[in-house]
Chain A
Amino acid sequence: MASEAQGAETGGLEFHPMDQFNIESLFGGPIAWYTPTNAALWMGLAILAVIGLMVLTTSKRSVVPSRGQSVAELAYGFVYKMVEDVSGKDGVVYFPYIMTVFMFILMANFLGLLPLAFTTTSHIAVTAVLALAVFLAVTVLGFVKNGFGFLSLFWISSAPLILRPILALIEVISYFVRPVSHSIRLAGNMMAGHAVIKVFAAFAPLVLISTGIGIVVTPLSILAITAIYALEVLVAFIQAYVFAILTCVYLRDALHPHH
């Protein structure tokens, strides 16, 4: 990465759009496994936000719900219906895990949108753990529930016999790509959106200072930041939803491997 002084001299970007994803120690010093970093801080805040929404608002329940309680009930009902619709009735047992993952990702995404915040879900290290946990759990569950019948997931009995080995190969590959795409989709979406906001944020003051056309470019880039920010709020929810619904799809495959 170009140093900041060099960028300022040559009229380049004042800051690098990817600098926001750097993991830094909160109190300075080198980073070891026990160092409190900004990633740990914002993950903790995400969990506190989930507790605040789901536990504190429902501790004083009432028949006519308060605003916080209705949001909590809305989220609960939304995820419950999703698990029931996609995974089937016998998938409802695993609803608490999917609810936890959904709320954590949702809160981490939303908190990452705050100015100066750190987006924990933009790191593949974080999302890969979430995706691998789902992948391993679903694979173990498939073998526990179905025995070796789980392998019929790869042997598509509705296809013509001559095509089945080829399809089996494709199915096996796509099965093992699942944790990769599951994690990179979330991390890539969050990273790309935040980087685009920062690119426009760098345009806004730069052009105003260095050239005369800033009077056109600066309002346009501020408008672009506003529009992309609104899109990012939508993406933050949709990506949490997509992560949860794909978990439900994988769960359905594990419970009912027969096509």
Chain B
Amino acid sequence: MLEGDIVQMGAYIGAGLACTGMGGAAVGVGHVVGNFLSGALRNPSAAGGQTATMFIGIAFAEALGIFSFLVALLLMFAV
């Protein structure tokens, strides 16, 4: 009952495996925001000025997760 070719199967399995990279990005973003929050609760008066830095950190952490999403999309639709 098998249909399709083995290349397509490999591409789909690879797309699924690539999505595990998003978990790493999730850990990274959570780490950034969690540490920002723990610092902000210790010194709330300094927190407001550092929100921009937090977003920059989130953006860098998130970019790598987006890369794995991109690899998954390429495997699904471009290969």
Contacts and interface: CB of A to CB of B under 8 A. Distances in A.
Q: Do A and B bind each other?
A: yes
Name which of B49, B59, B63, B73 has the most chain A CB atoms within 10 A of its CB: B59
B70 A184 contact: yes
A246 B67 contact: no
Contact of A82 (B52, B58, B66, B67): B52
Interface string A174-192: 0000000100110011011
Interface in A176-223: 181, 184-185, 188-189, 191-192
B66 A245 contact: no
For the complex, would chain A's binding face be called helix, strand, loop or mixed by DSSP majority? helix
A85 interface: yes
A242 interface: yes
B37 interface: no
Contacts of B52: 82, 85-86, 245
Given A189-B66, A192-B69, A241-B55, 8 more contacts: A85-B52, A184-B63, A184-B70, A185-B63, A188-B69, A192-B66, A245-B56, A246-B56
Interface size class of B (residues with CB under 8 A): 10 to 19
Interface of A: 1, 18, 82, 85-86, 181, 184-185, 188-189, 191-192, 238, 241-242, 245-246, 249
A1 to B, nearest CB: 8
Given A18-B77, A188-B69, A188-B70, A181 B55 contact: no
Interface string B4-44: 00000000000000000000000000000000000000000
A184 B55 contact: no
A184 B60 CA distance: 12
A242 B63 CA distance: 11
